[in-house]
């Protein structure tokens, strides 16, 4: 997030696009709901499904999955055509406007409404006018923007819109991606990415390599950017990757195209999995290490607003269950490293020495203060709002982006659009929530959510077991009939191994960041019983 959670009351209104906030980030969802319902703030929602927030929205756009860029371009087209954008901000702080304006010319409300499947094109005009009045408007998005082959372009489009409106660098504005895991921000910050060291320092640089070799007292590190998660699986499938070490992940459940993932793991010569349960992935391992769960360990985690927070040991782990860092250190030592961390604190001291954005953070400070990185010195209070005076690169760059359709379009054989995601009561591959009584009892099994029109076409009744198939595979799953998605769009949560949504999803990737297109593929629905 460029801005902070505590600024929600300072926003005049919200654009929520591609985020089912009240189910997937419920606490932030409630905060936004409070502003809209109890304080009469404005809300614009763009989502293929009529999510809870849509009920309270001034404008709700039920777009066809995968058409975010078109509608964002449509809003911007109106803002420029009617001269409603923030000229001062654009002239002073941004560049690339002319090219953007040129690209946007063809995105008339009618053209966009046609792409997105919106009935009333004039709503796009009205919503854009409302956005221009909201000073400031905060934009919130989540995986409904990113999990497409055009994910990177979707993200850039959100930035285009907020720069055009002049909502960057101000309290209550900003581009606010809601991160889906409690420490996904921190894992990225720490360099658990193939192309960057901690603090996003590129690995493809001899200078950076030398710096980290010196800091870590080693030699022979690589400047070649590594493989992303999906590329690793492909390389394993092809036999180029021979061994994998997987800590706290369950790719068999969470990666697209499950069959391909399983084959990839089976091709490996050697697989180590370190987890709290014998997960679907761990079953393919040669060695499994039992690791501590989150409340059995100490350390820090960084949330979606870049806030670094302390985690404390609440429960004592069983004797043979160990901290993840300890296990890695033991292997490293056996392979010749001279690491001697005694506690997480020792590691954190090393982190702040090599991570400029964390340099001023200490265990003591985060116990007492609210600190968001960048925090470069011990005296620095941390950074609540990014891009306040200037953008990181100087001027904010508008990127002219055209709408591109998703990888798979519906056809006669696979006529229905399938989109996937999470639900309120469950999380990711279900390892944790399905082992928690209240959550498991509340939603014990998966479902395919479909519109009554579709149900009627296929002669399916609520709760009936149906077959959903794509080019990758087929599952049996219960139908849940409600008017949430539009006709011809179905939704399946991916938490349930018995009706695994990722047997169906397509493993095509965004060419830049390699994110899979979980949010749209083509499927067919079949009645099982006569």
Partner 1 sequence: MEKITLTIDGKEVTGIAGQTIMEVARENGFHIPHLCYHPKLSKTGACRLCIVRINNTMLKASCTEPVVSDMKVITEDEGIKSIRKWLLGLILMEGDHNCLYCDADGDCQLQAYVKTYEVEQSKEDFPVIEREIDYITSNAIKRNENRCILCGRCVRACKEIQVSNVWGLCERGSSTHLIADDDKKIGESTCVKCGTCVQYCPTGALTFQPVLGKGPNWELKKESSICIYCGVGCKIDFYTNKEGLLVKTMGHEDGPNDGHLCVKGRFGFDFVQSPKRLTKPLIKKEGQFQEVGWNEALDFVAQKLSAAKEQFGPDSIAGLSSAKCTNEENYVMQKFMRSVIGTNNIDHCARL
493-522: contacts with partner 1 (CB under 8 A): 513-516, 518
Pick from 100, 164, 203, 375: which binds partner 1 (CB under 8 A)? 203
Q: Which is nearer to partner 1, 274 or 485 (CB)?
A: 274
**Cα 175 from Cα 155, distance rounded (Å):** 9
Pick from 40, 316, 364, 393: which binds partner 1 (CB under 8 A)? 316
Q: Which is nearer to partner 1, 74 or 299 (CB)?
A: 299
The partner residues of 177 in beta bridges, in order of sequence, read 141
**Cα 404 from Cα 66, distance rounded (Å):** 9
Cβ distance 68 to 145 under 8 Å? yes
Pick from 327, 397, 400, 467: which binds partner 1 (CB under 8 A)? 327
Binding residues with partner 1: total (CB under 8 A): 146
Q: Which is nearer to partner 1, 82 or 445 (CB)?
A: 445
DSSP 142-164: -HHHHSSTTHHHHHHHHHHHHHH
* Conformational region of residue 474, where left means phi above 0, alpha means psi within -120 to 50, and beta covers everything else: beta
Smallest separation, CB 219 to partner 1 (Å): 9
Q: Which is nearer to partner 1, 100 or 285 (CB)?
A: 285
Q: Which stretch binds partner 1 (CB under 8 A): 21-29, 72-80, 389-397, 474-482?
A: 21-29
Q: Which positions from 331 through 390 interact with partner 1, judged by CB under 8 A? A: 331-332, 334-337, 341, 344, 347-348, 350-351, 370
Q: Which is nearer to partner 1, 251 or 493 (CB)?
A: 251
Q: DSSP 3-state assignment of 493? A: strand
Q: Which positions from 273 through 312 interact with partner 1, judged by CB under 8 A? A: 275-278, 285-291, 293-305, 307-312
Q: What are phi and psi of 271, to 5 degrees?
A: -130, 125
**Residues near 257 by Cβ (< 8 Å), separated by ≥ 6?**
472, 473, 502, 503, 505, 506, 507
| 526 lies in the binding site for partner 1 (CB under 8 A) | no
Cβ distance 323 to 341 under 8 Å? no
Pick from 106, 122, 210, 216: which binds partner 1 (CB under 8 A)? 216
Smallest separation, CB 329 to partner 1 (Å): 7
DSSP 329-376: HHHHHHTT------SHHHHHHHHHHH-GGGTT--HHHHHHS--BS---
Smallest separation, CB 279 to partner 1 (Å): 9
Neighbour count for residue 194 (Cβ, 10 Å): 15
Q: Which is nearer to partner 1, 134 or 308 (CB)?
A: 308
Strand (E) or helix (H) holding 328: helix 324-334
Please choose, from the candidates 23, 24, 37, the residue with its C-alpha nearest in 3D space to the C-alpha of residue 14. 37
Smallest separation, CB 324 to partner 1 (Å): 4
Q: Which is nearer to partner 1, 95 or 324 (CB)?
A: 324
* CA torsion, ordered 18, 117, 495, 309, to nearest 10 deg: 0
The first and second tokens of residue 406, run together, are 């998703």
| 247 lies in the binding site for partner 1 (CB under 8 A) | yes
Smallest separation, CB 69 to partner 1 (Å): 18
Q: Which is nearer to partner 1, 76 or 520 (CB)?
A: 520
| 480 lies in the binding site for partner 1 (CB under 8 A) | no
Smallest separation, CB 285 to partner 1 (Å): 7
Smallest separation, CB 409 to partner 1 (Å): 23
CA 304 to chain centroid, in Å, comes to: 10
Long-range contacts formed by 262-271: CB under 8 A, 24+ apart? 263/237, 264/233, 264/234, 264/236, 264/237, 265/236, 267/236, 267/237, 267/239, 268/236, 268/241, 268/242, 268/243, 268/244, 269/242, 269/243, 270/242, 270/243, 270/244, 271/243, 271/244, 271/246
Q: What are phi and psi of 71, to 5 degrees?
A: -70, -35
The first and second tokens of residue 61, run together, are 């756009």
**Cα 97 from Cα 108, distance rounded (Å):** 18
Pick from 96, 194, 356, 473: which binds partner 1 (CB under 8 A)? 194
Q: Which positions from 140 through 179 interact with partner 1, judged by CB under 8 A? A: 146-147, 178-179
Smallest separation, CB 154 to partner 1 (Å): 13
**Cα 220 from Cα 429, distance rounded (Å):** 37
Pick from 84, 121, 171, 321: which binds partner 1 (CB under 8 A)? 321
Q: Which is nearer to partner 1, 438 or 530 (CB)?
A: 438
Q: Which is nearer to partner 1, 188 or 467 (CB)?
A: 188
Q: Which positions from 379 through 438 interact with partner 1, judged by CB under 8 A? A: 424-425, 427-428, 431-433, 435-438
Pick from 192, 210, 353, 528: which binds partner 1 (CB under 8 A)? 192
Q: Which is nearer to partner 1, 169 or 516 (CB)?
A: 516
Q: DSSP 3-state assignment of 453? A: helix
| 323 lies in the binding site for partner 1 (CB under 8 A) | yes
| 257 lies in the binding site for partner 1 (CB under 8 A) | no
Q: Which is nearer to partner 1, 120 or 442 (CB)?
A: 442
């Amino acid at each position: 997030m460029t801005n902070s959670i505590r600024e929600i009351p300072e926003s005049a209104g919200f654009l929520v696009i591609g985020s089912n906030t009240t189910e997937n980030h419920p606490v932030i969802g409630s905060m936004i709901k409070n502003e809209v319902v109890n304080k009469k703030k404005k809300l614009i929602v763009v989502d293929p499904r009529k999510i809870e927030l849509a009920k309270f929205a001034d404008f709700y756009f039920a777009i066809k999955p995968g058409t975010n860029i078109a509608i964002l371009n449509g809003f911007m087209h109106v803002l420029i055509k009617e001269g409603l954008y923030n000229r001062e901000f654009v002239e002073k702080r941004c560049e690339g406007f002319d090219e953007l304006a040129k690209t946007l010319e063809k995105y008339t409300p009618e053209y966009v409404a046609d792409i997105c499947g919106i009935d009333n094109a004039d709503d796009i005009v009205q919503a854009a006018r409302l956005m221009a009045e909201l000073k400031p408007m905060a934009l919130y998005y989540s995986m409904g923007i990113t999990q497409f082959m055009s994910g990177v372009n979707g993200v850039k489009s959100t930035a285009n819109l907020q720069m055009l409106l002049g909502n960057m660098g101000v309290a209550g504005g900003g581009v606010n991606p809601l991160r889906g895991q409690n420490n996904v921000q921190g894992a990225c910050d720490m360099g658990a990415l193939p192309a960057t060291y901690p603090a996003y320092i590129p690995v493809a640089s001899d200078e950076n390599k030398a710096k980290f070799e010196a800091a870590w007292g080693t030699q022979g590190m690589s400047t070649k950017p590594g493989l992303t998660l999906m590329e690793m699986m492909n390389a394993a499938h092809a036999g180029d990757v021979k061994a994998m070490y997987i800590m706290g992940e369950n790719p068999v459940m969470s990666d697209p195209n499950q069959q391909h993932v399983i084959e990839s793991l089976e091709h490996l010569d050697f697989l180590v999995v370190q987890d709290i349960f014998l997960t679907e992935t761990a079953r393919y391992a040669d060695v499994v290490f039992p690791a501590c769960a989150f409340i059995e360990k100490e350390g820090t985690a960084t949330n979606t607003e870049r806030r670094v927070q302390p985690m404390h040991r609440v429960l004592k782990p069983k004797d043979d269950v160990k901290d993840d860092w300890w296990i890695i250190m033991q292997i490293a030592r056996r392979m010749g490293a001279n690491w001697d961390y005694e506690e997480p604190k020792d590691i954190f001291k090393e982190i702040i020495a090599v991570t400029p954005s964390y340099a001023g953070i200490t265990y003591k400070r985060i116990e007492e203060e609210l600190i968001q990185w960048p925090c470069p010195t011990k005296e620095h209070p941390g950074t609540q709002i990014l891009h306040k005076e200037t953008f990181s690169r100087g001027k904010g760059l508008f990127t002219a982006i055209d709408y591109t359709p998703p990888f798979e379009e519906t056809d006669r054989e696979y006529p229905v659009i399938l989109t996937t995601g999470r639900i309120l009561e469950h999380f990711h591959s279900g390892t944790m929530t399905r082992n928690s009584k209240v959550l498991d009892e509340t939603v014990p099994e998966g479902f395919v959510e479909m519109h009554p029109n579709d149900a009627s076409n296929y002669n399916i009744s609520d709760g009936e077991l149906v077959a959903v198939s794509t080019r990758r595979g087929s599952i049996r799953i219960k139908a849940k009939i409600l008017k949430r998605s539009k006709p011809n769009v179905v939704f399946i949560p991916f938490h349930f191994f018995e009706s695994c949504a990722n047997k169906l999803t397509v493993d095509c990737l965004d060419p830049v960041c390699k994110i899979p297109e979980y949010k749209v593929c083509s499927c067919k629905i079949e009645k099982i019983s006569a």
